Copies of this chain bind each other. A is one copy, B any other.
Amino acid sequence: MSRTDTTPRAPAPPDRARVEEAAWWLSDRVVRTPVLNSPAIDRLAGVRVLLKAENLQTGGSYKMRGAMLAVGRLAAAGHTGVVAQSTGNHAVAVALAAARHGLRATVVLPVDAASTKVARARAAGARVVLAGTTLDERLATARQMGDAEGLPLIDAYDHPDVVAGQGTASLELIEEAERLGTPLDALVVPVGGGGGVAGACLAADGRPVDVYGVEPVGCDSLARSLVAGRPTPVAPAPTIADGLRPTCVGELPFAVLRDTVRGVVRVDDDQIAEAFRLLLLDLKVLTEPSGAAGLAGALCLVGEPGADVVGRPGAGAVGRSGRRRADYRTVGVVLTGGNVEADLVARLATRQWEGVAA
């Protein structure tokens, strides 16, 4: 198949080959975002930090990758419309991907969604439905609409194309680090439903890279699931990282993560806010708080002996990298998105941010 074919291959259980194939198919359909580096951030971390700027991706987040792949397959199968639900970025991405493929998109967002994300989904031509504030409410609405109108649902993380597509961002970062002569010892990715970090684990398969997820304190379904050995829901605590508040890690991501992820770093909102400021004022890029969480986690991981890191049970003290945390030399971070309200940018930039009301 040539790269300009419009048909991605049929679904298969996600694995590294699936991520590599997705990367190839997406290579002229999404932006190859730059890998950035800052001497000041390196000094602060005490290691080299390579940052994959997916906030510069079309649609403002790496969700465009999985959405393009999933919508592309549905379009090739003859579907004329799709439905999706998310707190925002997946909905924006599905709206844009559907527009590219000439499909109608219906996207379900929470009533308290960031207005930036609602506006972007509408600008892409999607029908936007606002439903409740929880995942269950959105999912029920999305399923109901999909059933009524015969539209397939593209889940935000429990979907093989979404896992593989998001994994391509990690694969590009891993390969770019090798090209630069500074291969990654660790790779850090924020966790909502776990699709991105599962994709990262698949991308890193066969390489000496330790993959970590980052969760806000109190939104730590993956950390709890690793300990329990099965997907374990939480009642998500309030956090500034609105994209990292699903009730539970997805079944499919967890099936990948339970045997591959090195661990989970838990970060609080102050750490996320500080990472946001570093990225904005030093690196000069705008991330949303969820998108900055990866850097917050990486700084904890390499900088704080008492950092709140939950290892995967049975993973031992040394992972695939063959190194202990204190010996990492190069750490990769996926800056997953940059869709954030101007008011919040202003408050975070000037440290006039006093947390999220419970």
Contact = CB atoms under 8 A, between A and B. Distances in A.
Contacts of A56: 34, 36, 283-285
A347 B346 contact: yes
A45 interface: no
A286 interface: yes
A166 to B, nearest CB: 18
Contacts of A352: 346
Interface string A281-306: 10111110000000000000000000
B349 A342 contact: yes
Binding site of A, secondary structure by majority: helix, strand, loop or mixed? helix
Nearest to A58: B39
B342 A345 contact: no
Interface string A314-333: 00000000000000000000
A55 B34 CA distance: 14
Contact of A350 (B36, B346, B351): B346
Contacts of A123: 40
Contacts of A342: 277, 281, 349-351
Contact of A285 (B39, B286, B345): B286
Contact of A284 (B281, B286, B346, B347): B286
Nearest to A37: B31
A59 to B, nearest CB: 9
Contact of A286 (B116, B286, B350, B351): B286
A81 interface: no
A24 B47 CA distance: 29
Nearest to A35: B34
A294 to B, nearest CB: 15
B284 A55 contact: yes
A349 B350 CA distance: 12
A58 B34 CA distance: 15
Interface in A58-98: 58, 60
A338 B277 contact: no
A280 interface: yes
A343 interface: yes
Contacts of A34: 34, 56
Contacts of A280: 286, 345
Nearest to A341: B281
A352 B280 CA distance: 19
A50 B95 CA distance: 24
Contacts of A285: 56, 284-286
Nearest to A54: B284
Nearest to A57: B284
Interface in A242-294: 277, 280-281, 283-287
A281 B56 CA distance: 11
Contacts of A351: 342
Nearest to A31: B37
Nearest to A124: B39
14 contacts: A34-B34, A34-B56, A39-B58, A56-B283, A56-B285, A284-B285, A284-B286, A286-B286, A342-B351, A343-B350, A345-B345, A345-B346, A345-B349, A346-B346
A-B pairs, 6 with minimum CB distance: A346-B346, A284-B338, A34-B34, A284-B286, A342-B349, A55-B284
